[in-house]
Amino acid sequence: MAKAAWMVVVAVAAMMVGLNAQSMSCGTVVTDLYPCLDYVRNGGAVPMNCCDGIRSLYRSAATTADRQTVCNCMKNAAGSVPGVRLDLAAALPQKCGVTLPYKITPSINCATVQ
């Protein structure tokens, strides 16, 4: 269950931050964003290591194709864990100082991610 929960966090966060699918696997993304899991389930203060992971993934973004690939990977995992509040997950980039040029939703069309 914990690994599946990671995937939901990753799905939303990765769609938000976009990252380089060519050099990162979904497993790496899950590991980086695991610290966000408690926050997206329960709210409260965003853990510093969660923001560190989001910022790291954002900095790793390289090309549109990379970001779209990761978006699709994470989107496929988004529905697998109950209890994740998508409103909290969607707010993570801004709370961590990352500005995105698109809005993250569970129904995002990853082909539109630039």
CATH code at position 9: 1.10.110.10
Domain count for the chain: 1
Do 77 and 7 touch, CB atoms closer than 8 A?
yes
**What pLDDT shows up at residue 43?**
94
Q: What would the pLDDT profile of 62-95 be if each residue is shown by its tens digit?
A: 778 777 776 776 676 566 667 888 888 888 889 9
Q: What would the pLDDT profile of 15-63 be if each residue is shown by its tens digit?
A: 444 444 445 567 767 777 889 889 988 999 999 999 998 888 788 777 7
Q: Which domain, by its residues, includes 92?
A: 2-112
Do 75 and 108 touch, CB atoms closer than 8 A?
yes
